[in-house]
Amino acid sequence: MVNSRLKLKYYIFSTFIIILTVFLLNIFSTVSADTPQDYNVPYNSYVYNFWEEPVPAPQAYVPDRIITGQELEIDSFSSPRDLHVNREKQQIYIADTGNNRIIIFDEKWQKVNIITQFNTEEGQDEFDDPRGIYTTSDGRIYVADRGNNRILIFSKEGEYLDKVGRPEADEFEFRDYRFLPSKVAVDQHGMMYVVADEIYEGMLEFDMDGYFTGFIGAPEVQVDFFQYIWRRFSPQERRERLSLFLPTEFSNLEIDERGLILTTVSGGAVDEEDYVRRLNPAGEDTLYRDGFTAPMGDYGTSLQDAGGEYIYQGSLFVDIIPRPNNAYSVLDQRRGRIFTYNRRGHLLYVFGFRGDQRGGFRTPRAVEAIGNKILVLDSRKENITIFEPTEYSQLIHQAEEYYTEGRFNRAVDKWEQVLDLNANYDLAYTGIGRGKLYQNNFAEAMKNFRLGQNRSEYSRAFEFYRHEVIRKNLSIVGYIFLFIFLISVIGFKYYSKFGEYYIQLKDKNRHIIFDLFQMKNYRIFQKLYYYIIDTMKSLIFGLKVIVHPFGGFWELKSENKANYLASTINLIILIATFIFMRQYTGFIFNTRNLEELNILVELASIAVPFFLWCTVNWALTTLMEGKGTFGEIYKTTAYAMLPFILINIPLTVVSNYLLLEEYMIYFLLFSLALVWSFVLLFCGTLTIHQYSLSKMFLVTVFILLGITIVIFLGLLFFNLLEQVYAFFLTIYRELTYRI
Amino acid sequence: MFGKELYHKFILCIIFVILLFCFMAAEINFARAEFEPVAENSYLKLYINHENAEIAVTDKNSGNTWYSNPPGRSDESIARGRTADRLRSQLRISYFAGQSRRYMNSYTDSVQNDQFNLEYLDNGVRIEFVMGEVWQEHDYVPLMISETSLEENILNKIDDDRDKSFVKDLYESVDLKERPENYEKVEIYGFDKEKAFGNYTITKKEDWTDRERRQFLIYFTSRLVELRENVDSRGGITFADIKPFKKNPGYILKDGLADWDLDDFAEILMEIGYTPDENTTQDHMTYGIAPPQPGIRIFEVPLEYYLDGKNLVAKVPVEEINYPDGDVAAGDPAGEERITHLPLVEIEIMEFFGAADQNEEGYMLVPDGSGALINLNNEKTNRPSYRQNLYGRDYSVREREEMRFANKQLHLPVFGLKQNDRAFLGVIEKGKSLASINADIAGRTTTFNKVFPSFNVLPHAQVTLTGELEESAMNIYQSRLPEEDLQIRYHFLSDDRADYVGMAEAYRDYLIGNGILEPLPAEDNLPFFLDLVGSIHHQAPVMGIPRRKVKPLTTYEQTKKIVEKLINNGIDNINLRYRGWLEGGQEHNFPVNLILEDSVGTENELNDLYRYLNEKGVKFYPEIDFQFVYNNQLFNGFSTRRDGTRFISGETAFMSDYHLANYRQLEEEIRYILSPRHLNSTRSDFSNEYHQIEPTNLTLKNMGEVLFSDFRSKEEDLIDRIQAKRANMDFSYELQNKGVELLLTGGNSYMLGFSNKLMETPLRSTGQDIIDRGIPFFPIVLHGYYHFSGQPINLVDNMEDYFLKMLETGAAPNFRLMYESSSALKNTPFDDNFNLHYGKWLKEAEKKYREMNEILGPVHHKPITDHKKLKQNIVMTEYGEKKSVVINYRNTTVNLGSFEIPAKGYKILEGRIKEVE
């Protein structure tokens, strides 16, 4: 009884406590309901590999907090356009465009100031459509007040100081121009750079006193040969008007630690490669583009829409921020992603996504970094998403930092940790490779550069390695070279003699085998034997052909010195050497994916042009009084390819010992084979058809034309076939759906 | 003494107070004035309003009343027109007319037209809604009417004399008389007067001019031609057509009447209860002319409410749904001309049940991921409202050309709403595989917060037919309605149970009551889920030609080593999921026959491993996927035409991978899908052979998280999503019957009864923008009844947070490992598994397991009894009323009065929550 009463008491008491607790806790928890650990990250991360395919990567940054106007206890934002962080003061500035105000927070998101009204020379004034905001290290605030066609300058306390209006310069006609500034930045010398709408000549540059000094930053036109000619013939004024710069629509700019201007381009006649640039005060681009491709966000993303037309859907960069160690992050508005590149232009990581989930964007406008966090402003969602770095991206930045500081051992350590988290990360191998290179461990460096698909640095490591090996084994290398030299000299001199001798020897012994055949009546074997002998003779005959094309091909035609089997063997060997070359060319010169070898494709890539040539050649020359038969054409073509067979293999071997800078040697050898083969083909065709030189030229042109036509017809045929197929498919589908 | 004035004032005051009370009482009663009780049991009382079919249910225990339609809707300030009408409706349907989607709701299209019918059930009520206008106004007006009928049925019933004369004025009398001698013929082109009238003639009044007569005749005959079925032209009129007028002298509607006059007339007819289907039809039949035809866009949807114990059940019997589906109704004289196909694709049930207005505080529960809350009136009107379908996408509906992320799955068919101190929880009982959960906040379309289910009863897809020059699109639909009813069970909660924990408990009790969940046996140690990747496939050249090659990653022997190391490190109660033991690796060949993958070991080695694991007390669940056909070869027992599911368009369905950056379909990796129809036969073929080797259990990959229909066009071949669900359940039931213990992934609610082990259960919400807070609703339901685990710890973004999350939800640890080094997966389709090498994780696994086992080991078979957010990023979970874990997700140490919790740390409290304070 007592017990149960106690229990009851206990129960009542505890209930009371619970209610009290809940009540108290409710008071605490009314502020906000932002709990990142309750949500999954809504996007996948990736990096691009050497073949421009996206490869999965761990998350580099995850959404931590979402900040809205209500949460900060000011009115909600209204399509805010710009966000700026002053690194010295650790303050956050927001251009709340729709509400025509500038809001300033400290790093803990406590409100510092809101500027809506201010006193200018002419009295009280307000913003109209303020689109850009920037602060200098001493705290001065620059606002691109677009609707009022001016840049406003405020003191760090938010007092109005000055304004810069429409540029008034003589050298440029501003008469019809409305000054519509949207972004502004100021370097440490007080030079002000402005991105303004409807200006395609570049960014506007103002000096400390607010005077317009000129344009900066439009990429230079690369004049090619035809343009040059065209320009020569155009009239003087026109020549001047075809100015040296391309029309460019800048979307944003930022000044980095070294005072260089980082810019993003969203339109105009600018290559994807130039979407991001780092300009020095002279307006020259100093950005490194050593990555697998230039920093341009997503690539290979032109999409086919329903109508079958390809639409370009590359990244649309709208903002850029400098990151530690001269890295930078760019915001892609199209897919809501933030791409981060390091100093040399290698893609470090990608994060973000477009969607209606936590951490997704609708219309992201601005990106900023505060400490190691990243803030993204979304003007449609009217909020700011704060991203926290994960262990993965922190390791990457640490490794980069150690490398810049020259602490290579530590950098290697960090890169190895990165690899533990992501075995797909090519850049980590490069990083390790660099570390090893500085430790003078060249072999290891090469191995890692190879894993990281970094050919230029592999070449550098290889240079040292080669040097080292040669130095160590100078004598052996010398002997080897001498030996090779001797062998080749002797071989060259005696090879043909040896071949003749061999055949004579066979001839001597022939009667023995011959008798054997006679005895047993094996006539087939006898024929076969002769055929083999014949083939071998034919193969050896090839060596003569390639040095004496006219005589050789004449013998081929008149004395039937080459048989079909030998020609076919030549063709097969040709294909085999190309496959060998594809797989075993040195890493520096071999940019193909070795794991994706498909012999059938390789075979087709040689055999199809080969037979196309033969067929078209035959078809045309029979019409043009050519004396050659198809068989002869086949043989001639096969023999004309011999230089490739001779050069491919040595070339492949040599390529393994060449540096990137020595590509001329590689190129030269290959060109030699190409020219030689072409000469042979030309001479051979001429000889077997018994054409004059001039006629042969004509025929060659015709054949090439003929090949083009055949290819064209082939494509046409396949296209037609496809359409017929599509037609029947549509009928079939329509029938099945409607019935 | 009182002064007289004071006395007066006093009396006035009293009168005022009394009046005030009267008004208040009237106000209070007003809400329920039209509601009449229809059913009652010891917990609930159900009311219905006969005027508009709205219902209300009172929870006797707490005295709370829940309305099907918000009683405060008269203050509605946002919605107008049809949207406002939706506040009064209980059903909303959508149908397709050609390509355009149209909507109807039970108020605008049924109640307003007085087209519903109430019927009492044993313990509830049934409302038959007929939506769409059955009779349009002009259908009321009789075109010809007999004298008697006009007099009796219309004029006598009209009270107003002005109306009477108005009606009389609309008609002209038609009287057939014998022709007088001196009759002058009126010639009308193409009309044979002799043939038609014979000896009779039409008279109206004495002083007809010829012109008037002629005009009247033209009008009369043309009307006849128009209205009589058997007459094509004036020349065709015979005396038989005219004859009825001789018997019943009558009237014909005047020529050229104004529309508004007819409308007024129709209104009068409606008022006096003159109906088109009886009276007008009768009038027309008298003269043998076509009766008015009821409208074609008519949808009949019955809705039943009944009380079942403590719950209210709302049900739509699908069998009794009627929609214009192209069949000619029997006895319809207009026949073929009226064929219409208006497929009814979706039904929303009780959109505003229990809806909370702008003044209420509370939240809505949606089963997004692990569960999520949407605060009432959260003002996020610039974000999309919530709508997700249950059990994931049906990939058979149509192939998807572009896909972002597929992590928006809902596993549980529940939704709920808490306002102030009361809450309801809706559990979709039937038709759930067609359901979506919808939620929206006040301020967007109405001033109410609502959460409700909708049912996609006829899945459809659009197909485009591409011609050379033009493109045309058409809709294709599933060939019939599903064969299961739609049914929702509402639980009512009040006071301290009216929160998400209470909702989870209610749902858990419901599952226990249905025998789906069973308490776990009391074991001392927390289970440990080990997910080993045995072998995978990748593309590599064989003799120079790219082929699918299998790469062993953890052989049976190596498995032994890993398990041994784990056990030696003190990890107990291991559940081993092993992938890639069937030929072809992790994405194995079609498993109609049991063919083992040789690269990981022989059959003997497998048996050996099984025995070894048994000895060590490790449960072995080799993984198999019956639904996807990964590597379709010739003669593998799977024929895409015969056994594959079909898209609605009739083409063979498949799943493909998607480009990471632009989300486009990648055509290289295609997987076909085994039709649910063949699941069981495939299973029996497989399990015959499976029982010849030693392992007895299986991991069913995907079975717990994906659900595909097979949209074959023939009705009898169609496997709709409900049948597919049943096929999956039958399949699992059969396996279970054969003594195969199952390990599942994900955790779709219908599969919960077939296992008590789950992997990769969501522990977090997906974070749609409209959501305010993710909660561990699913874990609260499962804990103590299921061994479950979340994502592999070594693959999550932030291990520290995830570990805390596991403590919060009571999930068991899960590691995905392999023996080979992590780089073995580079350049394979499995390269998203970044970091699986076991050597790196042994220590971590041991540490995490020890730490968790100490906390959760003793309570892992007890249910979660409470869960609370204490402060921003600080939560508390109470296990089995015995132990509480307070978790600090912040980066800073937190002082909670009597104790401190370190940054990213936790604190264990023995006993209940009171000690927290």
What pLDDT was estimated at residue B404? 62
Side-chain half-sphere CA neighbours of B630 within 13 A? 20
Strand (E) or helix (H) holding A510: helix A474-520
Q: Give the C-alpha distances (Å, rounded to integers) separating A479 from A464, A654, A656.
A: 22, 18, 20
pLDDT per position as a tens digit, B578-608: 999 999 999 999 988 889 999 999 999 999 9
What pLDDT was estimated at residue B218? 81
A216 has a pLDDT exceeding 50: yes
- Rounded to an integer, the average pLDDT of A68-88 is 88
User: How distant is the alpha carbon of residue B400 from its chain centre?
Assistant: 21
Q: Which of A40, A429, A600, A606 to mutate to test the interface with B (most CBs of B within 10 A)?
A: A40
How far apart are alpha carbons A204 and A129 in whole angstroms? 19
How far apart are alpha carbons B268 and A157 in whole angstroms? 77
- Rounded to an integer, the average pLDDT of B252-275 is 82
Q: Give the C-alpha distances (Å, rounded to integers) separating A466 from A57, A209, A477, B173.
A: 35, 58, 11, 119
Given pLDDT bands bounded at 50, 70 and 90, which one contains residue A369?
A: very high
B539 has a pLDDT exceeding 90: no
Higher pLDDT, residue B701 or A12:
B701
- What is the nearest CA distance from B381 to chain A, expressed in angstroms? 10
What pLDDT was estimated at residue B436? 93
- CA–CA–CA angle A97, A101, A102 (5° rounding): 100
**Sign of the alpha-carbon dihedral angle for A594, A598, A603, A609:** negative
Coil/strand/helix, residue A266: strand
Q: In this complex, do A40 and B661 lie within 8 Å of one another by their Cβ atoms? A: no
B834 has a pLDDT exceeding 90: no
B715 has a pLDDT exceeding 60: yes
Coil/strand/helix, residue B122: coil
Q: Which tokens belong to B89?
A: 């409706």
Higher pLDDT, residue B752 or B279:
B752
- Rounded to an integer, the average pLDDT of B62-73 is 90
The interface residues of chain B toward chain A in range 351-380, judged by CB-CB distance below 8 A, are 369, 372, 375, 379
B132 has a pLDDT exceeding 90: no
Query: What is the predicted ipTM?
Result: 0.84
CB-based contact, B513 to chain A, within 8 Å? no
- What is the nearest CA distance from B123 to chain A, expressed in angstroms? 37
Which range, of A354-358, B125-129, B647-651, B667-671, averages the lowest pLDDT? Answer: B667-671
- Rounded to an integer, the average pLDDT of B329-351 is 73
Closest partner residue to A32 (CB to CB) among B764, B766, B872 is B872
How far apart are alpha carbons A373 and A64 in whole angstroms? 9
Q: Which tokens belong to A258?
A: 């070294």
What pLDDT was estimated at residue B336? 52
How far apart are alpha carbons B311 and B304 in whole angstroms? 14
CB-based contact, A422 to chain B, within 8 Å? yes
What pLDDT was estimated at residue B392? 83
Strand (E) or helix (H) holding B227: helix B210-227
B654 has a pLDDT exceeding 70: yes
**Sign of the alpha-carbon dihedral angle for A292, A294, A297, A303:** negative
Pairing relationship of beta strands B435-440 and B311-316 according to DSSP bridges: unpaired
How far apart are alpha carbons B729 and A323 in whole angstroms? 54
What pLDDT was estimated at residue A2? 42
What pLDDT was estimated at residue B912? 67
Instruction: Quote the mean pLDDT of chain A.
Output: 84
pLDDT per position as a tens digit, B212-227: 777 888 888 887 777 7
Q: In this complex, do B543 and A599 lie within 8 Å of one another by their Cβ atoms? A: yes
How far apart are alpha carbons B433 and B456 in whole angstroms? 9
The percent of residues above 70 in pLDDT, for chain B, comes to 92
Residues of chain A with C-beta less than 8 angstroms from the C-beta of B831: 55-56, 423-424
Q: Quick one: which of B417, B288, B290 has its CA closest to B351?
A: B417
What pLDDT was estimated at residue A224? 62
Instruction: Quote the mean pLDDT of chain B.
Output: 85
B32 has a pLDDT exceeding 60: no
Given pLDDT bands bounded at 50, 70 and 90, which one contains residue B134?
A: confident
- Rounded to an integer, the average pLDDT of A562-580 is 91
Q: Are B809 and B370 in contact (CB under 8 A)?
A: yes
The interface residues of chain A toward chain B in range 347-376, judged by CB-CB distance below 8 A, are 353, 355-360
Residue type, B714: K
Residues of chain A with C-beta less than 8 angstroms from the C-beta of B407: 40, 42
- What is the nearest CA distance from B546 to chain A, expressed in angstroms? 6
Given pLDDT bands bounded at 50, 70 and 90, which one contains residue B502?
A: very high
**Sign of the alpha-carbon dihedral angle for B155, B157, B160, B166:** negative
Q: Are B636 and B590 in contact (CB under 8 A)?
A: yes
A727 has a pLDDT exceeding 50: yes
A363 has a pLDDT exceeding 90: yes
In terms of average pLDDT, the best of A493-497, B24-28, B287-291, B415-419 is B415-419
Q: Quick one: which of A25, A30, A28, A22 has its CA closest to A71?
A: A30
CB-based contact, A52 to chain B, within 8 Å? no
- Rounded to an integer, the average pLDDT of A34-60 is 84
Quote the DSSP letter at residue B433.
G
Higher pLDDT, residue A40 or B840:
B840
Given pLDDT bands bounded at 50, 70 and 90, which one contains residue B332?
A: low
Q: In this complex, do A420 and B840 lie within 8 Å of one another by their Cβ atoms? A: yes
Q: Could you count the other beta carbons within 10 Å of the beta carbon of residue B671?
A: 18
- Rounded to an integer, the average pLDDT of A132-160 is 91
A214 has a pLDDT exceeding 60: yes
pLDDT per position as a tens digit, B6-21: 777 777 667 766 666 5
pLDDT per position as a tens digit, A94-124: 999 999 999 999 988 888 999 999 988 888 8
What pLDDT was estimated at residue A471? 85
Which range, of A74-78, B158-162, B480-484, B547-551, averages the lowest pLDDT? Answer: B158-162
A503 has a pLDDT exceeding 80: no
- Phi/psi of residue B661, nearest 5 degrees: -90, -45
Side-chain half-sphere CA neighbours of B320 within 13 A? 14
Q: Could you count the other beta carbons within 10 Å of the beta carbon of residue B14?
A: 10
Closest partner residue to B765 (CB to CB) among A38, A355, A597 is A38
- What is the nearest CA distance from A363 to chain B, expressed in angstroms? 13
Please report where in the chains the tokens 């607790």 appear, as a residue.
Answer: A21
pLDDT per position as a tens digit, A247-283: 788 899 999 988 899 999 887 777 788 889 999 988 8
Given pLDDT bands bounded at 50, 70 and 90, which one contains residue B917?
A: very low
The structure's pTM equals 0.85
- CA–CA–CA angle A69, A75, A81 (5° rounding): 60
Which range, of A613-617, B66-70, B291-295, averages the lowest pLDDT? Answer: B291-295
A340 has a pLDDT exceeding 80: yes
B620 has a pLDDT exceeding 50: yes
Q: Residue-wise over B591-613: b if at least 16 C-beta within 10 A, else e?
A: bbebebbebbbeeebbebbbebb
What pLDDT was estimated at residue A491? 74
CB-based contact, B465 to chain A, within 8 Å? yes
B126 has a pLDDT exceeding 90: yes
What pLDDT was estimated at residue A327? 94
Residues of chain B with C-beta less than 8 angstroms from the C-beta of A29: 869-872
Tell me the domains of chain A and their CATH numbers. 55-389 (2.120.10.30), 412-472 (no CATH), 524-722 (no CATH)
Q: Which tokens belong to B856?
A: 């959760």
Q: Are A663 and A455 in contact (CB under 8 A)?
A: no
Given pLDDT bands bounded at 50, 70 and 90, which one contains residue B166?
A: confident
CB-based contact, A302 to chain B, within 8 Å? no
What pLDDT was estimated at residue B382? 86
Given pLDDT bands bounded at 50, 70 and 90, which one contains residue A31?
A: very low
